[in-house]
Amino acid sequence: MKKLVSTVNLDKAEWLKYRKQGIGGSDAGAICGLNPYRTAMQVYYDKTSDETEEIDNEAMRQGREFEDYVARRFMEATGKKVRRANYMFQDEENPFMLADVDRMLVGENAGLECKTASPFMAEKWKDGKIPMSYQIQCHHYMSVCNAEAWYIAVLIYGREFKYYKIERDEQVIADLIQIEKDFWKNHVEKEILPEPDGSKLSDSIIAEYFKDTVAETIPLTGFDEKLKRRQELMDVMARMDTEKKQIEQELKVYLGEAEQAENENFRVMWKNVCSERLDEKRLKEEQPEIYALYRKSINSRRFTIKAA
């Protein structure tokens, strides 16, 4: 491995630009289809767009804030010492693989990944389990840093602290390198979108990527079987939706004027709810100036499929 850039006093905008030069540990799970919160399409868009993708939320902020605490707890629990790496590393054989690690262990060829999790996510760490996306992240770091092992420590808010050691697995690393190489060489460098995965996240990326249109009709080839399958799925979903609504209607008739019914397995509620909505039609007719002042135009592409 080589040191790509020092992260000491590196501002976030510059750090994000360096991240665009390759695949990081947090990208690896998404590329492998194992990250429930991020897709390969998102990673592709991040690496190929001119924008610096600054994903942040409360959970991520808390993760950063608690990183030092998790590292200290790890040292207390294990007696091992860790230090900050202070560099973003790059794999010399596969320069598209980058690593910005949380900590490196002193006197051991290994690193530490610090995680936080809400109590609702505790089940994913039960009985020695480690979320697959995080396992892939650690193997990515082992590959870039030529490490023999990687530790992962997690603080589950208000419940417990856990840590695990992930041993280096050459087959996993070889497979991961091939997947990342294919993604970088055949998608990022050639600017070819990865295959969609059916997620809402992929929907949003496709809409952003192809938001501009041209008045053109192109031949529709190679999709007849998939379109037939789509129609079959829609028919099945329609029948299932009707069956679901029938069950709900039967329950409403059973409840009658009662707001709630329950047994040892289920609780069914049918309560009055008051909600307020803006009468846009009336506002437009009676106060057109105010309506025009607050009207917002949203451009989007409408997707429809019709039988020929």
Mean pLDDT in consecutive groups of 10 residues from the start of the chain, 308 residues: 86 88 95 91 90 62 79 97 94 95 96 93 90 97 97 91 96 97 96 88 84 89 94 96 96 95 95 90 92 86 82
In a domain, 110, yes or no: yes
Residue 121 and residue 268 share a domain: no
Residue 77 and residue 145 share a domain: yes
Residue 186 and residue 68 share a domain: yes
In a domain, 47, yes or no: yes
CB atoms within 10 A of CB 136: 24
* pLDDT value of position 57: 62
Residue 235 and residue 170 share a domain: no
CA distance between the termini of the chain? 57
Q: Which residue has the tokens 């997707």?
A: 303
In a domain, 300, yes or no: no
Nearest Cα residue to 19 out of 57, 61, 48, 47: 47
pLDDT, tens digit, 9 for 90 and up, residues 28-75: 999 999 998 889 999 998 999 887 666 656 666 666 678 999 999 999
Helix axes 58-65, 67-78, angle to 10 degrees: 50
Give the Cα separation of 146 and 126 in Å (integer).
Answer: 29
**DSSP bridge partners of 23:** 97
Query: Do residues 89 and 101 touch, judged by C-beta distance below 8 A?
Result: yes
Coil/strand/helix, residue 195: coil
In a domain, 303, yes or no: no
Coil/strand/helix, residue 49: coil
Cα 172 off chain centre by:
21
Q: Which residue has the tokens 């917002």?
A: 296
* pLDDT value of position 56: 57
In a domain, 215, yes or no: no
DSSP 126: G
In a domain, 306, yes or no: no
Residue 184 and residue 268 share a domain: no
Residue 233 and residue 198 share a domain: no
* pLDDT value of position 85: 92
DSSP 265: S
Residue 94 and residue 228 share a domain: no
Residue 253 and residue 161 share a domain: no
Q: Please report, for the domain that includes residue 190, its CATH number.
A: 3.90.320.10
* pLDDT value of position 55: 61
Domain boundary among the residues 181, 209, 237 is at 209
Q: How many domains does the chain have?
A: 2
Residue 253 and residue 198 share a domain: no
In a domain, 177, yes or no: yes
> Whole-prediction pTM value?
0.76
Residue 122 and residue 46 share a domain: yes
Q: Which domain holds residue 126?
A: 2-209
- How many residues comprise the chain? 308
Residue 118 and residue 25 share a domain: yes
**What are the tokens at 141?**
């770091």
